[in-house]
Amino acid sequence: MDELCARANADPVAFRLKHLENPRVIGVIRAAAKAAKWQTRQFPTPHPQTTGVVTGRGIACVDYEGGNGYAALIAEVSANLETGEIHPTRFVVAVDCGPISNPDGLRNQTEGGILQGLSRALVEEVTWDNQRITSVDWETYRSLHLDYEMPPIETVFVEPDGVPALGAGETSITVTPAAIGNAIFDATGARLRRVPFTPERVLAAIHEGRA
């Protein structure tokens, strides 16, 4: 979607709102953009520098399982152009799962989903050789360490009137890798299509874009 935005020279939020019809997806996008103070600008951000650290922002949204929950996530990241390391610096997420009976529980679930999605986006990967899977334990299958410093997460609840309760357990997981990938694209101009977004893959995509 964001590649289409770049081709059309369109802002990612405005482009989505222009082409979406589902009012609940539109609702979470508007809520996330408002909370994040999203400002329309050229996309991706033009960065003349080839060294140092650049920043970017990305958005992703989901109509989960065809109407079983809605979410929009804005991710802000910094990218080191010399090492390929990606560091998320802020998340703003809007969730619509209908009536909410336990706001704290929903907020915890949403934040946990972003953490799990972040681990999948940056480090988790099944590996194998020509005989078997080789990532078989917590030493060979990487995940974020317990001391990983999470960036701030702001959660916004969208509660339309007269709708039934829906699921919320996995909505934020699904949008996290996409929002981070779009933020990397905004920061570097490099499009990654395979997770995890390791430093090696980030550098390779940056170099390919410069070729």
Question: In this predicted model, what pLDDT tens digit does every residue of 1-39 receive, in sequence order?
Answer: 999 999 999 999 999 999 999 999 999 999 999 999 999
What backbone torsions phi and psi does residue 96 show, to the nearest 5 degrees? -125, 105
Average model confidence (pLDDT) across the chain? 95
Task: Give the chain's count of helices (H) and strands (E).
Answer: 6, 4
The per-residue pLDDT for range 77-115, each reduced to its tens digit, is: 999 999 999 999 999 999 999 999 999 999 999 999 999
- Domain range annotation of the chain: 2-210
What the block records as the tokens of 19 is: 């082409």
Query: Based on C-alpha coordinates, what's the Rg of the chain?
Result: 18
- State how far the Cα of 30 lies from the Cα of 20, in Å rounded to an integer: 12
Q: What percent of the chain is modeled with pLDDT above 70?
A: 99
What backbone torsions phi and psi does residue 2 show, to the nearest 5 degrees? -70, -25
pLDDT of residue 178: 97
Is 1.10.340.70 the CATH classification of the domain at 2-210? no
- State how far the Cα of 166 lies from the Cα of 179, in Å rounded to an integer: 23
Average pLDDT score over residue span 53-58: 96
Q: How confident is the model at residue 49 (pLDDT cuts 50, 70, 90)?
A: confident
- Tracing tokens 């989903």 back to the chain, one arrives at 113
Average pLDDT score over residue span 149-159: 97
Sign of CA dihedral 17, 18, 24, 25: negative
Spatial contact of 88 and 77, defined as CB atoms under 8 Å apart: yes
CB atoms within 10 A of CB 35: 16
Least confident of 66-70, 137-141, 155-159: 137-141
What the block records as the tokens of 150 is: 């999470």
pLDDT of residue 50: 85
Q: How confident is the model at residue 119 (pLDDT cuts 50, 70, 90)?
A: very high
Q: H-helix or E-strand containing 12?
A: helix 12-19
pLDDT of residue 211: 57
- State how far the Cα of 182 lies from the Cα of 180, in Å rounded to an integer: 5
- State how far the Cα of 135 lies from the Cα of 133, in Å rounded to an integer: 6
Q: Does the pLDDT at position 210 exceed 90?
A: no
Spatial contact of 120 and 196, defined as CB atoms under 8 Å apart: yes
